[in-house]
Amino acid sequence: MPHSSWLKAAGAAFAVALATATAAHAAPAPAPAPELTAATSVAAVVTLRYDDSRAGGWEAAIAAGVASWNRNVSNVRLVEAAPGTRAEIQIVATSGWPQATLGPVRPGGQVRVELGSLAVSEGYDKTRIATHEMGHSLGLPDTKPGPCSQLMSGSAAGTSCTNAVPNATERSRVESAYAGGLASLVPADGRTLVDAP
């Protein structure tokens, strides 16, 4: 093979190899879509702190109510406030009927939940009471009269009702109230709802 033909063949092979290597390195890496989706949904979660330091005797009911809301809605999360820090939901034990400020409460705002022992002495379930009153803080009004399957029917469902799980409509209303994260939230209604029969 003449020297000039050999140089042409070697040059062509080198050009093909160089083009192939460049193309392999120039191809963009696939975007990590699952990680972006997870990060985006985490960013949309609104965290609300609660203070139950003045709700002696209701600790187990409050913990069960918080767990019920955290299991059933995905864009709002209830967490216990560290001692000495400000909480959006102030929970106190009282001797009257349960009552709460109607939300939805915003981070940095504040609502009050009163867990009244009068309802317990009448035979109403403590966990249902606590979960129901937290529902007011999240923006849900009463739905009286209503069946036991509606958490927000409250005392209208009777003393035999122990349901402490929001139904699909109630979950959807809370999800809608907190959709879009912080920017879409309107301030709490501010009315106090008393849950006497």
Give the catalytic positions in this structure: 133
Give, rounded to a whole angstrom, the gap between the first and last alpha carbons of the chain.
105
**Three-class HEC string of 46-79:** EEEEEEEEECCCCHHHHHHHHHHHHHHCCCEEEE
Nearest to 99 by CA among 119, 117, 116, 122: 116
Residues of 40-62 as b/e, b for ≥16 C-beta within 10 angstroms?
Answer: eeeeeebebbbbbeebeebeebb
Alpha carbon distance 178, 45 (integer Å): 8
For residue 139, what are the CA distances in angstroms to 35, 41, 45, 47, 98? 31, 21, 16, 15, 16
CA angle 131, 109, 178 (to 5 degrees): 60
CA neighbours closer than 13 Å in the CB half-sphere of residue 94: 17
